Structure 1
């Protein structure tokens, strides 16, 4: 069990790094904005104040160290996903990592963003309150595909 958690942490970190690398590439190639991790950090901090849903997280009281907290939250979620994934598929997955199981899991994880984080920040269900919800959803699916590629690639590197 300890070994599964250890390797889950590693593949979760690798997957989150892959997702961030893809977002950086999109920024450089197509000038898409980089995520502002301060806002998820602010949202996360407000959870401890008893508030989960906001009309507009940008209008909520700032939290001390919200940018750092946002990055820690982002990587923490990625690590938890890596651990959960490895427990779901079993540690033998590392002997022969397959992309399909990693990709399906990664796509499924977008549900947390669409149905918890985005509504909590005032963006609506699946970004429905944003100016371009379908673009946001599509970019999210692509980013989570990069996460799946990162799970798979990390599994190959570890195995």
Structure 2
């Protein structure tokens, strides 16, 4: 079991790092706004106090360490997803990883952003309150595919 746990943690960290590198590339090369994990940290802070959905997270009471909490939450969720994949797929997959299970998990996890985080931040279901929701949705799907590549790539490296 320890083998599955450490591999799941490593896959989650590796995948999250790759996703962050992708965000840096999008920002530097394509002019996408840089990632800002402070609103997510504020959301996590209020989540712990029983408030899930906000009209606008910017209007919620600030938390002094929200940027740090946002980064911690970002990596914690990535680790949880890595653990889920490792536990579901088990030792045989970890010994000979294939991309499709990682990609399916990556795409499924978009739902957490669309139906929990984005409405929680006040962005609407699947970014419906954003000026260009279809662009946001496409970028979400691409980012989670990059995350899946990170899960798979890390699994290959540590097998």
1:10 is aligned to 10
Give the alignment's TM-score, normalised by structure 2: 0.98
2:103 is aligned to 103
2:143 paired with 1:119: no
Q: Deviations over 1:17-47 (max 9, x none)?
A: 1111111111111111112100000000001
> What is the aligned-residue RMSD (CA, Å)?
0.8
Q: Equivalent residues in 2 for 1:9-158 (5 A)?
A: 9-158=9-158
Distance 1:7 1:95 in 2: 11
In the TM superposition, residue 91 of structure 1 has moved relative to its aligned partner by 2.2
Distance 2:41 2:106 in 1: 22
Give the alignment's TM-score, normalised by structure 1: 0.98
Q: Deviations over 1:49-73 (max 9, x none)?
A: 2211100001111012000000000
Q: Which runs of 5+ in 1 are unaligned?
A: none
Q: Which runs of 5+ in 2 are unaligned?
A: none
Distance 1:52 1:77 in 2: 16
Where has structure 1 moved over 3 Å in runs of 4 or more? none
In the TM superposition, residue 99 of structure 1 has moved relative to its aligned partner by 1.0
Task: Give the 3-state SS of the residue equivalent to 1:90 in structure 2.
Answer: helix
In the TM superposition, residue 135 of structure 1 has moved relative to its aligned partner by 0.4
Alignment coverage as a number of residue pairs: 159
